[in-house]
Structure 1
Amino acid sequence: MIRGALIISTLLLAGCDTVPLEQPPTRAHIADSALPPVKQFGAPQPVPPQRSNRDIARDFLDLHFKLEGGSSLPILTRFEQPITLRVTGSPTKTLNSDLSRLLSRLQNEAGIRVTRVTSGDAHITIESVSSAEIRRALPRAACFVVPNVGSLSEYRRNKRRAKTNWSQLRERTRLAIFIPNDVSPQEVRDCMHEELAQAIGPLNDLYRLPDSVFNDDNVHTVLTGFDMTILRATYAPELQTGMSRDEVAARLPSILRRINPKGGSHASRPLKETPREWVNAVEAAIGPNASTEVRKRAATQATAIARQQGWKDHRRSFSHFILGRMVQRSAPGLAQKHFKTAMSYLGNAPSTQLHRAHISARMAAYEISRGNGRAAQTLLRPAIPTAAKFESASLLSTLMLLQAEALALTGDIEEARAVRLDSLGWARYGFGSDWAVRARMNDIAALRPNTMAGG
C-alpha cells in the first residue's frame, strides 16, 4: 500500500480554492499564541462489520492472495513469531502516542501483540523522515512499506531487487515503514494505520470495500472494525504461512464463525468485481499529475462505467462525488446535483456513514455560499459526530467551521464563535501548522455571503 497517490481532499470547498491566506476583514484575527492546543481522540469507537461471513471470507481471500495490479499470490504470508517494532529517524511529537494507541487497538481488537523495542533489530522498523526523502525514493508516495529492509537507505540500495518485491514475498521476517515527519499529526497517524496494517496483514486494496482502510479511495484512514476482523482472522491458529488459497478458504468459515458470530446472521450480498477500466479512470481523476480537463474527463468516464455496470453502491457514489468535485468551482449547481446523486447511492448503512459525512461537507458549503444557514445545519448535524467517531480531525474541524458559518447566517453569533473556537484544536491535529489552520478558517469564512463583523 502506497499512501498519497489517491488521497481524497476534504479541504477544497466550493469556489474557495484560490482564496488568499490573509484574514478576511470582517473576521477577528486569532494570533498564533491564542490557538488552542492540539486535540486528540479518546476511546476508539470501531463499527463492527455489517455483512455476512461468506462475503468477508471472499474479501479476505482477495485481500491476501491478490495484488493491486491484478497479479495473484501463491501463498498466505504473515509473521509466525512474536512481532517486535522499533521507531527510528526523527519522529514527530504525536507519533509515539498515536503509535501506542494503535498497538493497543491491535492487541485488544485483533489479538495481535506488537512489542516496541528501543534498540537492536526488530521485525518492523518505522523510520520517520522528511517528505522529500520519501518522494526521492517513490515520487508519488506520501508513505510506504517495503519487505526485507530496515531503512530507507537500504531500500534505495535494493529497490530493484526481488527481496523488495511484494509479489516475491514468501515469508515475513523484516519490513520497514517510511513515514513523513513534516506533515500534520493526522497524516502521520493515517500513514501508520495503513502501512502497519499491510506490514502485518493483507497486501491488496479493494474498491468494493466500503468500510476499510484496504481501499484506495482513502475514505477510511484509521483501522475499522472490519479491518480488525480481517487481521484477527489472519493470525488465527488454524492458518499459517505457506498455505494456498484453497487451504485458507477451507478453514475460513469456522474461523469467522468463532471471531465474528454476528456475521452468520447477515444475508450474503456480494458486490460485483471492480473492472480495471473504472480503477484507471478513478486514478486519473484524483491523481496529482494531470490537468483539470484530463481529470474531469476521467471522472466523467468513471461515472459512465459505474452506470454501465449497474452499480448501486458506494463505488457509484464515489464516481459522482469525484465528478462533483471536478465541476464544483465552474458549475456549483451541477456539482450539488452530483453530490445529491452520490448521497442517494449510499443509503443509511453504518458502513457508509463516513462517505456521507464527506459529501455533506461539500453540500453544506454550497448552501452556506447561497446564504441557506438552516439547510447547511441540517446536513452538518449528523456529519459532525460521524467524523469524530471515525477519528478524522481534518473533516471534523472542517465540518465544525462550516457549522459556525451556518450558525452565523441564522443569527446565532455567540454559538458560532464557540463552535469555531472548539474546532481549532481539531484543526491543529488535522492540518498541522498554524498557517494551515488559519488558511482553512479563511477559506470557509469566505463562503458566507455578506459576512457580518464579529461572526
Structure 2
Amino acid sequence: MVTDFIELGFAMESGREIPQFSRFEGPVQVITRGPVPAQALADLDRLLARLRGEAGIEINRAAPAATLVNASFNASDVPQNLIAVEFLPRRQMQAVVPNAACFVVPNVSNWSDFVANRRSSAIDWTRVVSRTQAAVFVPSDTTPQEIRDCLHEEIGQALGPLNDLFRLADSVFNDDNFQTTLTGFDMLLLRVWYAPELRSGMSKAEVQARLPTLFNRLNPSGRRPSNVDPGPTPRVWQQAVEQALASDGGLVERRAGATRALSLARAQGWRDNRLALSLMLNARLAPRDQGEAALDALLAAAELYRRAPGGEVHAAHIDMHLAVQALATGQAEMVLDLTARALPAAERSENAAFIASLGFLRAEALSLIGRTNEAERLRVDSFPAARYGFGTEAAARARMDEIARIGTAAQRLARL
C-alpha cells in the first residue's frame, strides 16, 4: 500500500508529477449548489458519514442556509476548507469539458469561476500546496446511481488521491469503473492521508518515510512481506485501454485498442488486474466467429480477478456476461448458479443496475424451468434497484424487456 499511496498521491492521471503532498488542514465543509436531485442529498449524507466513521475525516454538509442555489460567492465570502458540489445539466458541462462524466477542480467554488479560470494555473492541482477550496461538478440529469458514483469518486479525489491506477481492483481510483463506491481500501488510504504524521507541503520522500509506520499503526493486519513489484504502467497501454473503452469509438478502433492492450500486457509479463482487464476487453469486443477464444479469455480474466483483492466484483461482472450467454442457450440452472455467485459482490459494491440485471436474469431462468410465480415476484422485487440504477421506470423496463427477449428466444429454440 505504500507503493500505491505514493503513485496515487504524487502523480496526475496524465502522468504529470505532483511535487508536494496536499490535503485540507482542519474540518471540511461541503455545500451543494444548483438543481440538487432529492436522492443525491441522501447519498451525499451517507458518504460523509462513511468518511467520518471509516476515514476519520472531520467533514460535514453545511446547514441549509449556507447551501446556495444559482448564486455566486464573492471571493471574500468563500469559507476555507470548502468542497462545493454543483449540479448542472450534462450538456452544459460537456460543452466545456467534452469527455467528463463529472470532475473536480481546486481553488474555485462554482461553475462560473471554473469557466473563467479553466486555462489558468490557478486550477492546476500540481501547484496546490494546501487545499482550501475545491468544486465538484456533477450532471443533474442522469441516473441516481451515476450521481452517487460521481459523489464518491470526485469527493474522494477532492480530499485525497488525484491519480487512477488500472492495477488496483479494490478501489474507485481506477478508470475501469467496476467499483462504484469508495471501498475499504480507499477509506484506509484516506485515513492515512489525514493522519497527524502527515501535513501539506511535504515532499514525496518525507511522506514515503512515514508511510510504513502509519500503515502498521492503522492497518496492522495488512502487514506482510511482499517481493512483488507491480512495476510501472506504460502510458501506451493506458491509451490502448482508453481506446477500447471509448463509447464514441468505432468497433474496429475499439477492437484494435483491446488487441494492442493485451499484446502489451503479455509483453510486460503482468499477471494482475491489468492483464485481466486486457483479456476481458478482447473477449467483449471479439467478432462473433471468435466465440470460443473469447470465452477462454473471459474465463482466464475471471481467474485472475478472483486472486486479486477486490477482484471478486470484476469476476462477478464476468459471471453476469456468462449468464447472459447461458440464458441464450436455455441453460437455466447455469444462469441461476452464475447469478447466485455474482450477487454477493454486486450487493457489496452497491451497484444497483448490476443487482437489478442479475435479478432479471434469474427471473428469466426461473421462467424457463416453470417457476413462473417466483419469476414474477423477483421481477417486481428487482424494480426499485433498476429504477435507481437505470434512472427511470421506462429505462428499468427496457432493461428487463431486453433480458426477457433473450429468455423468449431460448424458449423458442427449445421447442424446435
The two structures have a TM-score, normalised by structure 1, of 0.84
* C-alpha spacing 1:160/1:231, structure 2 compared with 1 (3 Å): same
Match of 2:104 in 1: 145
Q: Is 1:104 aligned with 2:63?
A: no
Match of 1:6 in 2: none
Match of 1:95 in 2: 40
Residues 103 and 113 in structure 1, CA contact (< 8 A), matched pair in contact too:
no
Tell me how far 1:341 sits from its aligned partner.
2.1
> Deviations along 1:337-396, whole A, 9 cap, x unmatched?
321121122235552110111111111101110111111222111101210111010111
Tell me how far 1:269 sits from its aligned partner.
3.5
AA of the residue aligned to 2:331? N
Match of 2:155 in 1: 196
Q: Among 252, 273, 277, which residue is 1:314 paired with? A: 273
SS in 1 for 2:29: strand
SS in 1 for 2:276: helix
Residues 208 and 273 in structure 1, CA contact (< 8 A), matched pair in contact too:
no
Q: How does 1:408-423 map to 2 (within 5 A)?
A: 408-423=367-382
Match of 1:170 in 2: 129
SS in 2 for 1:236: coil
* C-alpha spacing 1:281/1:79, structure 2 compared with 1 (3 Å): same
Tell me how far 1:253 sits from its aligned partner.
1.1
Match of 1:33 in 2: none
Q: Among 106, 131, 139, which residue is 1:180 paired with? A: 139
Match of 1:72 in 2: 17
Tell me how far 1:264 sits from its aligned partner.
1.3
AA of the residue aligned to 1:158? N
Work out the CA distance in 1 between the residues paired with 2:225 and 2:182: 22
AA of the residue aligned to 1:432? G
> Deviations along 1:295-318, whole A, 9 cap, x unmatched?
111111111111222222221111
In proportion to residue count, which structure has more helix? Answer: 2
Tell me how far 1:275 sits from its aligned partner.
1.5
SS in 1 for 2:198: coil
Which runs of 5 or more structure 1 residues have no equivalent in the other structure?
A: 1-55
* C-alpha spacing 1:181/1:328, structure 2 compared with 1 (3 Å): farther
Match of 2:78 in 1: 121
Tell me how far 1:335 sits from its aligned partner.
3.1
Q: How does 1:37-436 map to 2 (within 5 A)?
A: 56-117=1-62, 118=64, 119=66, 121-122=78-79, 123-265=82-224, 267=226, 269-327=228-286, 331-436=290-395
Tell me how far 1:332 sits from its aligned partner.
4.4
* C-alpha spacing 1:152/1:329, structure 2 compared with 1 (3 Å): farther
Work out the CA distance in 2 between the residues paired with 1:331 and 1:372: 21
Tell me how far 1:266 sits from its aligned partner.
5.8
Residues 320 and 338 in structure 1, CA contact (< 8 A), matched pair in contact too:
yes
Work out the CA distance in 1 between the residues paired with 2:334 and 2:325: 10
The two structures have a TM-score, normalised by structure 2, of 0.92
SS in 1 for 2:38: coil
> Deviations along 1:125-170, whole A, 9 cap, x unmatched?
0001111111112000111100111111111111000011222222
> Deviations along 1:56-102, whole A, 9 cap, x unmatched?
01111111111112121111000012111100100111011000000
Work out the CA distance in 2 between the residues paired with 1:249 and 1:349: 24
Work out the CA distance in 2 between the residues paired with 1:393 and 1:329: 29
Q: How many residues align?
A: 397
Work out the CA distance in 2 between the residues paired with 1:339 and 1:415: 31
Question: Larger relative contact order (C-alpha < 8 A, sep ≥ 6)?
Answer: 1
Match of 1:27 in 2: none
* C-alpha spacing 1:167/1:178, structure 2 compared with 1 (3 Å): same
Match of 1:37 in 2: none
> Deviations along 1:198-234, whole A, 9 cap, x unmatched?
0010111111111001111111110001000110000
- Percent identity of paired positions between Structure 1 and Structure 2: 41
Tell me how far 1:289 sits from its aligned partner.
2.8
Tell me how far 1:451 sits from its aligned partner.
4.3
AA of the residue aligned to 2:47? L
Residues 329 and 410 in structure 2, CA contact (< 8 A), matched pair in contact too:
no
Residues 65 and 76 in structure 1, CA contact (< 8 A), matched pair in contact too:
yes
Of 132-141 and 409-418, more deviation after overlay is shown by: 409-418
Work out the CA distance in 1 between the residues paired with 2:142 and 2:289: 30
Residues 55 and 190 in structure 2, CA contact (< 8 A), matched pair in contact too:
yes
Match of 2:74 in 1: none
Work out the CA distance in 2 between the residues paired with 1:225 and 1:203: 18
Of 316-325 and 156-165, more deviation after overlay is shown by: 316-325
Work out the CA distance in 2 between the residues paired with 1:247 and 1:234: 13
Match of 1:3 in 2: none
Work out the CA distance in 1 between the residues paired with 2:32 and 2:281: 36
Match of 1:45 in 2: none
Residues 299 and 322 in structure 1, CA contact (< 8 A), matched pair in contact too:
yes
Which runs of 5 or more structure 2 residues have no equivalent in the other structure?
A: 67-76
AA of the residue aligned to 2:45? S
Match of 2:404 in 1: 445
Of 61-70 and 163-172, more deviation after overlay is shown by: 163-172
Superposed CA RMSD: 1.6
